[in-house]
């Protein structure tokens, strides 16, 4: 479905809410305008193009535009605005039955040749109570597909509960420092092909992953934020306790 101005705060139909609960995810096409995304990509580039880089974004010179930038929403007002786009706020409120708060953000550069993330469930990394977490994954490239390392999901896998996670098995494809879901039927994985401005919402127990960016020259930038219901709390991660409202 396409978000229009009139339905930004209630973008989903009842069928789509039901589809999210059945599949564990829902894709909103053109949730964010391409102009805004171009401006945001330029802004993120400028952050690390400063000399010196701001303390919160500092990294080795050679890694300036690689992999991911953690929690820009905590330090950067443009990232906070992108975190609380009306269409995101509205979708989350419909899915959670109440307003959401943001607890984590990541800007992925995922440059050509860079690895993806092995299959996992987000709840494994971010325990929250009551369990209400949903991610919003915004595509920041004209095309995000199998070649440049799109997201893959196993529809309905959020109904399996939390599965054990262990060491990553395919280091050619995936980052080594994360953990991988064990016992999942990976033959059920499907790619989520997206265009600039599309936003994928997915449940904290949905098994998802991404592969290496195998393209020659196509980046796979994306902005991913994790939200919990406004009355919920992150329980174990001290670093993600702070909640950022969407209004």
Min CB(71)–ligand AKG separation in Å: 12
Residues from 90 through 109 that contact ligand AKG (CB under 6 A) = 108
How far is residue 115's CA from residue 223's CA, in Å, rounded to a whole number?
Answer: 17
Tell me if 222 contacts ligand AKG by CB under 6 A: yes
| Sign, CA torsion 110/217/191/186 | negative
| Comparison of 122 and 180: residue with beta carbon closer to ligand AKG | 122
Burial class (CB in 10 A: 0-12, 13-18, 19+), 69: buried
Per CB under 6 A, does 210 bind ligand AKG? yes
Q: Is 208 in the site for ligand AKG (CB under 6 A)?
A: yes
Judge if the upstream peptide bond of residue 117 is cis by omega within 30 degrees of 0.
no
Distance CA 58, CA 125 (A): 24
Applying CB under 6 A, does 79 fall inside the site for ligand AKG?
A: no
CA distances to 40, 44, 104, 229 from 245, rounded to whole Å, are 20, 22, 12, 10
Please report how close the Cβ of residue 116 comes to ligand AKG at its closest, in angstroms.
Answer: 5
Q: Which residue's Cβ has the minimum distance to ligand AKG?
A: 210
User: Interface with ligand AKG by CB under 6 A: which range of 10-18, 19-27, 29-37, 116-124?
Assistant: 116-124
List contacts with ligand AKG (CB under 6 A).
Answer: 108, 116-117, 122, 135, 151, 208, 210, 222, 224
């Amino acid at each position: 479905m396409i978000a229009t101005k009139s339905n930004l705060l209630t973008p989903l139909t009842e069928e789509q809410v039901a589809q999210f609960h059945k599949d564990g995810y829902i894709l909103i096409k053109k949730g964010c305008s391409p102009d805004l995304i171009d401006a945001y990509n330029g802004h993120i580039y400028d952050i690390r193009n400063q000399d010196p880089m701001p303390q919160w974004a500092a990294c080795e010179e050679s890694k300036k535009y690689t992999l991911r930038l953690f929690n820009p929403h905590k330090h950067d007002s443009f990232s906070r605005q992108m975190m609380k786009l009306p269409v995101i706020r509205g979708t989350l409120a419909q899915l959670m039955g109440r307003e959401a708060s943001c607890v984590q953000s990541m800007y992925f550069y995922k440059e050509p040749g860079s690895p993806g993330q092995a299959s996992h469930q987000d709840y494994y990394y971010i325990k929250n109570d009551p369990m209400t977490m949903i991610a919003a994954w915004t595509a920041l490239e004209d095309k995000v597909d199998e070649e440049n390392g799109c997201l893959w999901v196993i529809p309905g896998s959020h109904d399996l509960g939390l599965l054990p996670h262990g060491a990553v098995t395919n280091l050619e494809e995936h980052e080594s420092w994360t953990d991988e879901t064990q016992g999942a039927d990976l033959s059920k994985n499907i790619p989520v092909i997206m265009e600039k401005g599309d936003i994928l919402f997915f449940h904290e127990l949905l098994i998802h992953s991404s592969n290496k960016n195998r393209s020659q020259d196509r980046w796979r930038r994306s902005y991913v934020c994790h939200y919990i219901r406004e009355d919920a709390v992150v329980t174990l991660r001290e670093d993600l306790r702070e909640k950022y409202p969407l209004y």
